[in-house]
């Protein structure tokens, strides 16, 4: 609430969205780098086990296989990393509990959901930055603005509609995230989120009014004009303005 009252609703929302976009860009770059520079598959390492991935054993060019291609193959396969270094060429094996135990017995790491990377820590940094930017801005500003922009007679139903839209959107993101990562990859999934964030920035700049320091009556009067203000750094011209009232003559 301190940042909202000090900075203003619109500015804080824009700063939050810009920070979220940068955080998502970092996540996109990290996962893209991980996908394109994953450890290679070694035929020697793979032949060390008896549970070779069927698709790998049929391939004409085994030297072109890497960890990501192994994990995307069908039936489901996993990557058994090199015992010396997880970034060195490893084995592509069919994914089951027996193979997993064999890999662990050789003191190797077993991967089925992602590949080893030396920059994996950047994903944690990107996620942390996203939470830091989201919490004080987009985590609170929409609820504050929602409580200010609706007329009193519609405030209850409009607030309920906004809350419902928020939770339905959360449900869609939660249910579609894993499907998207499997269909188009993690990096492209975060790229879609970047486009949505940029669209939100444009929406806030054009349509969201700055209500900092304005009483409810002035906010309602300002919204009645239905004006579009692109200069988000300027305070509303309605701030401190007295709403004129009609004069009545007495007989």
Condensed to tens digits (0 to 9), the pLDDT of residues 127-163 reads: 999 999 999 899 888 888 888 888 778 888 988 999 9
The domain segmentation of the chain, as residue ranges, is 2-33+119-224, 38-111
DSSP character string of the chain: -HHHHHH-HHHHHHHHHHHHHHHHHHHHHHHHHHHHTPPBBPHHHHHTSS-B-HHHHH-S-GGG-BHHHHHTSSS-EEEE--SS-TTS-BEEEE-SHHHHHHHHHTT--EESS----TTTHHHHHHHHHHHHHHTTTTTTHHHHHHHHHS-GGGHHHHHHHHHHHHHHHHHHHHHHHHHHHHHH-HHHHHHHHHHHHHHHHHHHHHHPPP-TT--HHHHHHHHHTT-----TTSPPTTTTPPPP-------
Superfamily holding 2-33+119-224: MFS general substrate transporter like domains (1.20.1250.20)
Give the residue-averaged pLDDT of 62-88. Answer: 89
Per-residue pLDDT for 232 more than 50?
Answer: no
Is the pTM higher than 0.95? The answer reads: no
């Amino acid at each position: 609430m301190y940042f909202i009252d000090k900075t203003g609703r619109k500015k804080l929302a824009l700063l939050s969205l810009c920070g979220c976009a940068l955080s998502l860009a970092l996540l996109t770059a990290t996962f893209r780098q991980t996908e394109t520079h994953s450890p290679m598959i070694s035929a020697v390492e793979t032949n060390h086990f008896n549970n070779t991935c069927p698709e790998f054993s049929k391939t004409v060019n085994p030297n072109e296989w890497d960890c990501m291609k192994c994990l995307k193959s069908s039936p489901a396969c996993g990557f058994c990393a090199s015992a010396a270094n997880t970034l060195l060429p490893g084995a592509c094996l069919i994914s089951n509990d027996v193979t997993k135990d064999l890999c662990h017995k050789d003191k190797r790491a077993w991967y089925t959901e992602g590949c080893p990377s030396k920059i994996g820590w950047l994903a944690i940094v990107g996620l942390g930055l996203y939470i830091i930017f989201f919490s004080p801005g987009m985590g609170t500003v929409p609820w504050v603005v929602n409580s200010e922009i609706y007329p009193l007679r519609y405030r209850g139903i409009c607030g309920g509609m906004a809350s419902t839209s928020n939770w339905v959107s959360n449900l869609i993101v939660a249910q579609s995230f894993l499907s998207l990562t499997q269909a188009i990859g993690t990096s492209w999934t975060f790229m879609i989120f970047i486009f949505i964030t940029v669209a939100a920035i444009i929406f806030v700049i054009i349509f969201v009014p700055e209500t900092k320091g304005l009483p409810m009556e002035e906010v309602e009067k300002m919204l009645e004009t239905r004006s579009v203000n692109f200069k988000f750094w300027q305070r509303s011209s309605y701030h401190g303005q007295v709403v004129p009232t009609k004069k009545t003559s007495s007989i």
